Amino acid sequence: MAGNITFTMIKPTAMKKGYMGNIIAKIIEGGFKIKALKMTKMSKEEAMEFYAVHKERPFYNGLTDFMSSGPIIAAVLEKEDAVKAYRDFIGATNPENAAEGTIRALYGTSIEANAVHGSDSDENAIIESSFFFSKREWV
Ligand code: CMP
């Protein structure tokens, strides 16, 4: 059975451009319940740990530099079949291919600075949520 939890981050470029409020509003309008949320900043080491699954990929160094370059929002979201629902909702990884009206189409600027992260499996949703939040911080 699919889980009801996913994890998201609003990425540094979207934060710098002032899209934080619009993106959070859109997430709520999309029927996702916010279970935990914080503004924070990752160190390079933390970004490397978070994205360790991509460590062999050519974009790993650039991605982790970028993700540690400024403030982000980290949030745990709840909805039925949350991982798939949220991935459909935010659009394709590359904003150029993201469907009209999705968060990445509206607020993404490149494949790296694609406005938001979304978990790719139920297992990773829990791992990623636990990376940023203790169970006490979930409501
Ligand atoms: P995200 O959902 O944060 O998960 C992994 C990230 O790697 C992805 O969004 C993209 O921002 C980034 N990514 C994936 N493929 C590439 C690529 N070919 N070049 C640069 N960044 C990429």
> Could you tell me which CATH number the domain at 5-138 has?
3.30.70.141
- Span 1-14, average pLDDT: 94
What integer pLDDT is reported at residue 40 of this predicted model? 98
Tell whether the model's pLDDT for residue 1 goes beyond 80. Answer: no
CA of 85 to the centre of ligand 1 (A): 19
Residue 91 to residue 70: CA distance in whole angstroms: 23
Pocket of ligand 1 contains residue 59 by CB under 6 Å:
yes
Torsion over CA: 65, 48, 96, 37 (sign): negative
Full DSSP string of the chain: ---SEEEEEE-HHHHHTT-HHHHHHHHHHTTPEEEEEEEE---HHHHHHHTGGGTTSTTHHHHHHHHTSS-EEEEEEE-TTHHHHHHHHH--SSGGGSPTTSHHHHH--SSSS-SEEE-SSHHHHHHHHHHH--GGG--
Q: Band of the pLDDT at 2, cuts 50, 70, 90?
A: confident
Q: Is 54 a catalytic residue?
A: no
Using one digit for the tens of pLDDT, what is the confidence trace for 58-77?
999 999 999 999 999 999 99
Using one digit for the tens of pLDDT, what is the confidence trace for 97-137?
999 999 999 999 999 999 999 999 999 999 999 999 998 99
What integer pLDDT is reported at residue 139 of this predicted model? 87
